Every structure is written in structure tokens, then in C-alpha cells.
Chains A and B, each alone.
Chain A
Amino acid sequence: MKFDIILAGVGGQGVLSVSAIIASSAMHEGLSVKQSEVHGMSQRGGEVQANLRLSDKPIASDLIPRGTASLVLSMEPLESLRYLPYLSPTGTVLTSTDAVANFANYPDLEGLLARIRTLPRAILIDAERLARQAGSARATNMVMIGAASSLLPVTLETIEHFVGTLFAAKGARVVETNLKALAAGREAAVGR
């Protein structure tokens, strides 16, 4: 078993937290993990991606080869398309529909979402709205983990455990909000 994920988004959207929770969960369940991150200049509002590789065998490369990823998990619709060449023809694009239009020539959003829907396996999640309903727009990235959870080779219980660990220092209410966001994301993706 091998499950390669390209995590995409814009600097500041919490892409690395998403990666960390999935990676910790996979390791907890005995999988080998390699997680390549982007730090430094590109984090300043630019395109950010992480390569996360999960396998039941040792993993050589930190980077995912083209045409082989199982999932592009994106916090932002335009960014979900940037890494399509890395996706396997049988892979899934899972993206939030919330655009970060922090530059002048951002394409028409409705047109962009329509193009994403033409892909063989695309899941679009209204993540920020679900996060607000769960109690905080800042939990948008947890909605996206929830939406991905049924595709990932790890159990929901393990993911919930590590969401709890990540936010433990911020108090029980923050943990609860993030767990609610996680559940909402899972329901939105599965219930489609």
C-alpha cells in the first residue's frame, strides 16, 4: 500500500498543520511516512505545497513523482489545479471552494470551480462556511482533513486523537470546535 498526497494552498492557510495531523496519524498506525515541507520566503502569501507520502514499505524519495499521487488536497481552488501533473489518472482532487484572490488576475471563480468539476474524481467542499458553523473560520483546515478522512489509509479515531493533541494547549473549547469541524468535513464529503 502506498498513498501519496500533494497538500496545496496559500501561505498562512495551515497547510503544514493538515500535513502534520495526517502524518502523525499514519505513523501511529504503523505506516512509513515522509513529509516534505516548504518554509521560508514562499510562505509569505505565495503558493505553498507539502508532499506527504504514506506507505507500508520504506519510502525512498521525499518528493512524489509525477502521475502517481493518490490525492491532491487543496485549501484553495486555483491551487488544487497547480499540481494536477502529479496526480495519478485514478487520483482524486479534493479542494475547498474558498478562493484566496490575493493577486490582480485571479480567474473567474465560478468558471474555475466548473473546470474542477470536470475532473474524473473531484470533491469540492464549502469549507469556510462549515468551519464557521462548527464555531470558527480558523478551523477550515480541519474541515478539509475531515473531508479527506474517508479516502486516507488511517482511521477517523486516530485523526481525532491527533487533532485533540494539536489543540490541547489552547483549551477544551478549541479542541471541541476543531473536532466538530472535522466531523462536518467528513459528512460533507461522504454525503455528497
Chain B
Amino acid sequence: MSETVLLGDEAVALGAVHAGLTAAYAYPGTPSTEITEYLIRYRRKHGTPIAQWCANEKTAYEEALGVSFAGRRALVSMKHVGLNVAADPFMNSALITINGGLVLAVADDPGMHSSQNEQDSRLFADFARVICLEPSSHQQAYDMTREAFDLSERFQIPIMIRLVTRLAHSRGNVTTAEPRPENPVAKSATPASWILLPANARRQWRALLERQPEMRRYTASCPHNTVTGADSPAPFGVITTGLARNYYIENIEDLGVAPPHLHVGAYPFPADMIRKFVGGLRRVLVLEEGYPYLERALRGVLPPNVDIEGRESGHVPPDGELNPDIVRASLGLKSRPGLTIEGLTLPPRPPQLCAGCPHGDSFHAVTAALAGFPDAVVTSDIGCYTLGALPPYNAIQSCVCMGASVGMAKGAAEAGLHPVVAVIGDSTFLHSGVTPLLDAITEDTPMTLLILDNKTVGMTGGQPTIRPSSQLEDLVRGLGVPADHLHVLDAHPRHDAHNTAVLRREVEHRGLSVIIAVRECLETIKRGKQEQVAARA
């Protein structure tokens, strides 16, 4: 046993290592990135486990499934919207008889600090009918991840660990326990259960449904779902999930009498336990980070004469991240005044591209090339370059999900808009841009794909792209883009006039063209230099 200070993400990573992890796969995504970064550093030092970045979340999940098939323990981690990409293998893996423990760590982003939405992954676990554990502290992040591998092998299902930004990116103390060795290689003894042909799948689905009562017995008796102060004379009860517990505890002193409190950290939620907890209470406040998931479910569990208050009823804001002050207000406590300076309004300071960023030069070229085309459309994507939507660039008109710029450009062009440019980063292109490009190549759609190749996954901190920049041109040519409409440009401002001219020529071309604008991210250049200095010192 030893005590250490870790990010919530790192606590998950170390918990997995100490559970006998053989391999971890992921695609970078805030706030989940630091799980794999920790494991990659761990491997450099200790030689194990396998820890790799993958092309996208779907491939990562499938690689983890293969490890489980081989009888060994696998961790796959991603941000909440990454699970949309991996939804196909995730949903189907619930029907497979999992062999080696398979744990999916998903980091949700309530409040959308770095995301397009704030979807709640607990619903995905429910959708797949598997167990979800939700830590509310760093220690739980470590302990629950360890336990999740055991549960996965016991119930033969994948287990979800649901994190949120504030736990993923906060540091706290963790006491570690004795590490467990890795599983030996032992191929699945029920290979037919991995072949989801309809006849097998129907049998597997039934088996999964038949295991639901056992899962509920586990969550009703596990230490993650706990009642405190059941005999409290307070006129209402409080149910918390995840980090809401901490914000509730932060305010408890000011309540006078602490209400009876049920905390739910393991799902499927224990309905009988909740019914018993509520007992004769007439009012229950449900505090949960994310969707009103439990609150909604309780409307079918508790008698109609119990007032259920939460995000859906309007007693807690329906969107955004919880914090101690929101919870305080929902408990009926007065807010505490801070300091103010009268009559001073502070201008916001939005994020922006770094000074000298190659993306900025590319956006200038795009805007210049499209001058005089009032109907020009620039679709774009997920990454640092999404900041091209803001002043001074105002250069892009869409950002939906990984790879959408390419497919949307094709649709917009085929619907009759011209010219249409899709702007996508190199890593996002490799993640989800290649397949829609195949569609556009097949139709020779009149659109221009501009790949901003900064040789890194920039926004998440400079991870390597799945294939190096040097192979991008060959890849695109190999897909079938005609050579005379495929250009590689140096995205340096001294080539601005040339680059603008090439872009102008290609947006006027009534067919598909691809332009790769290459210049390395300033941050990775800087970091490369720092590493060299550190190596010399």
C-alpha cells in the first residue's frame, strides 16, 4: 500500500494496471486523454502494459475486444462523444460472453468545457444493459476500476466507468493496493458466443437479460450505493450520484439537520433500495451530474405522492455542470456574497489560435481564395482549427462531429452550393475523414478538401497522429484522388500568394480536389526543443 497524488484520469489508469491490465487502447479526447498518456509513460518505465493511440474510438474498442477474446484484461478509454463512434462494438459486445475483463472508461464533459454536447454516458450503459460504476473521488476512481475488471469477468460483460471533467482533471490522493498479475493467454472457451449470427445473438441477448436480476442484486449490496442518516427527522431526502455527493457534503453543515441521504455509484440503480430509502418521505431532491437520468427513472419507481425534485422538475438547472453553489441553491440555502467592484464588466477572453499558428495562415488563404463567391461554404471539424469560427478569421461554417466536414461538404455541393470547401485536421481526417472522402471520390463531387496537416493531434496536447504526415499524400492518392487535383502546400505565410492561387484554381474546378497544407504545430516544435534541452542537461 502506498499513497500517491493523481489526476482522476490517472487513478483510473493506475487502477487498471494494478488490476492486471494487458493492453489499453484509445483515441485522444478531452477529458479522457490523460488515462492513456499515463499508461504510455508507465510502459516506458516498466515495460508493460501495452498502451496505444488508435485511429479512432471504434478501432480502439475492437482491439480491446480482441484482448478479451484472448483471455486477458483490456481497458479502452474515450470521451463521451467518442462512445458514439464506438457505439457499434460497444452495444454488441454486451451480447458477447466476455472472456478477459473488458473495461470502458468514458469521460463525460458536463458544461461542455471542450465538447460539442454534454451527453450522459450512463444512458449508454443502460442502453447496452451493462453495469456502470461512477466514482465520486480519486480513491473510488482507482478502486472501482480495479473492481470493474473482476465484475467484467464475473458477469462476462463489459463494464463502464463513468468519469466527468471535474474528476478526470482534478488531483487528489489515492492509496494503492497490492497489484494483481496479468491473466495468462486463454482463448475464449465459448467461441460461438463471439459470433453474433442471428441464432447465436438471440441466445446471447436472452442470456444478458437473464443476468439483469443478478446485476441488480450486486448493485443493491455493493458498497457504492449507500444510505446515511436514514433516521433523520429532516422533511426531505437527498439522492446524489457521482460528484454531486461532494457538492452536497460541502453544504451539509449549513442545513442544520442533515437529511437522509442515498448515494448511487453503481448501476443498474437499485430500485428496491431506493423505494425503501424513500419510505414515508414526501419529497426527494435528486442531485446528479449530467442528465436527469435517475430522476426520470424514479418517476416509475416511487409512488406518485412523492415530490421528485431535480433537473427535470426545474429544481436544479436542466443543463450545465453542477457546482457547490448550484447544489446550495437547490437545498434552499442562501448564497454567500463574494467581492465585487461596482460598475465593472469584464470582457470575455475566448480561446484562440496561437500566434503564428499554421492554421491561421491557411484560413487567410481560404478566405482570400473564396473572395467574390457570396455562396461559398466552408465546412469544418473538431480540433484547434475549429477556432477558425471566431474572429479574426470567421472562416468556417460548421463543426458537428469527427469527420463531418467531408460528408457535409459533399451533401452541400450535391444540393447545389458552390464553391464548397471542407477544412479538416490531419488527425481528424485519419479518424473519420477517409470514408466520406471515398464517397466524394466515387461521385467526383465538386468540392475541395483542405487537410490541415500540422503533424500532430494538437488540441489534446500533441499526441502523434496514427500515420505520419509523410504518408498522407500517398494515402489520399491511393484512395483514388486524381493526381492533377491533389496538391501538397507549405502552409508558411511566405507562400501565401501561391497557396491562395492553388486554392482558387481548385475551388473553381467542378470536380473533387484535395489540398494538403503542411506545417508543424508550434507547440510540438517548442516541446521538441524542450525535450532536446532536457536531454542535454
Q: A188 near B: Cβ within 8 Å?
A: no
Contact A40 B460 (CB under 8 A): yes
Contact A35 B170 (CB under 8 A): yes
Contact A65 B336 (CB under 8 A): yes
Contact A170 B459 (CB under 8 A): no
CB distance from B118 to the nearest CB of A (A): 14
| Bound CA span A88–B537, Å | 44
The listed residue (A23, A93, A104, A115) touching B344 by CB distance below 8 A is: A115
Binding site secondary structure of chain B: loop
Q: B325 near A: Cβ within 8 Å?
A: yes
Q: A191 near B: Cβ within 8 Å?
A: no
The listed residue (B249, B339, B348) touching A119 by CB distance below 8 A is: B339
User: A1 contacts which chain B residues (CB < 8 A)?
Assistant: none
Interface size on A, residues (CB 8 A): 59
CB distance from A173 to the nearest CB of B (A): 9
Q: B347 near A: Cβ within 8 Å?
A: yes
Contact B459 A40 (CB under 8 A): yes
Q: Which of A65, A115, A120, A170 has the most CB of B within 10 A?
A: A65
Q: A84 near B: Cβ within 8 Å?
A: yes
The listed residue (B166, B250, B336, B348) touching A47 by CB distance below 8 A is: B348
Q: B353 near A: Cβ within 8 Å?
A: yes
User: B339 contacts which chain A residues (CB < 8 A)?
Assistant: 84-85, 87, 89, 91, 93, 119-120
**Closest partner residue, chain B, to A88 (CB atom):** B338
Q: B497 near A: Cβ within 8 Å?
A: no
- Which of A26-34, A124-132, A143-151, A154-162 lies at the interface with chain B? A26-34
| Bound CA span A187–B523, Å | 34
Contact A170 B533 (CB under 8 A): yes
Q: B31 near A: Cβ within 8 Å?
A: yes
User: B387 contacts which chain A residues (CB < 8 A)?
Assistant: 41, 44
Q: B341 near A: Cβ within 8 Å?
A: yes
Q: Which of B338, B341, B460, B534 has the most CB of A within 10 A?
A: B338
CB distance from B414 to the nearest CB of A (A): 32
| Bound CA span A44–B338, Å | 28
Known contacts: A34-B170, A47-B348. The answer to whether A42 contacts B113 by CB under 8 A is yes
Contact A38 B340 (CB under 8 A): no
Q: B475 near A: Cβ within 8 Å?
A: no
Interface size class of B (residues with CB under 8 A): 35 or more
Contact B169 A36 (CB under 8 A): yes
User: B249 contacts which chain A residues (CB < 8 A)?
Assistant: 60-61
User: A171 contacts which chain B residues (CB < 8 A)?
Assistant: 537
Contact A169 B324 (CB under 8 A): no
Contact B341 A170 (CB under 8 A): no
Q: B171 near A: Cβ within 8 Å?
A: yes
User: B30 contacts which chain A residues (CB < 8 A)?
Assistant: 39-41
CB distance from B457 to the nearest CB of A (A): 12
Contact B172 A33 (CB under 8 A): yes
CB distance from B340 to the nearest CB of A (A): 6
Interface string of B323-347 (1 = CB under 8 A from A): 1110010000001111111001011
* Residues 142 to 189 of chain B near chain A (Cβ within 8 Å): 166-167, 169-173
User: A102 contacts which chain B residues (CB < 8 A)?
Assistant: 349, 352
* Residues 363 to 393 of chain B near chain A (Cβ within 8 Å): 384, 387, 391
Q: Which of B170, B353, B354 has the most CB of A within 10 A?
A: B170
**Closest partner residue, chain B, to A69 (CB atom):** B338
Q: Considering the complex of A and B, which 6 residue pairs feature the smallest CB-CB distances, nearest first?
A: A67-B336, A40-B114, A40-B30, A46-B351, A85-B338, A60-B249
A residues near B (Cβ < 8 Å) are: 10-12, 23-24, 27, 32-47, 51, 60-69, 78-79, 81-82, 84-89, 91, 93, 102-107, 115, 118-120, 169-171, 174
- Give 7 A-B contacts (CB < 8 Å), ordered by A residue: A11-B351, A39-B114, A61-B323, A78-B349, A89-B338, A91-B339, A119-B339
Q: A68-B336, A106-B347 are in contact. List 13 more A-B contacts (CB 8 A).
A: A36-B169, A37-B169, A38-B169, A41-B351, A44-B387, A45-B354, A47-B349, A51-B170, A65-B250, A82-B346, A86-B338, A91-B339, A170-B537
B residues near A (Cβ < 8 Å) are: 5, 7, 30-31, 33-34, 113-114, 166-167, 169-173, 243, 245-247, 249-251, 323-325, 328, 335-341, 344, 346-354, 384, 387, 391, 459-461, 533-534, 537
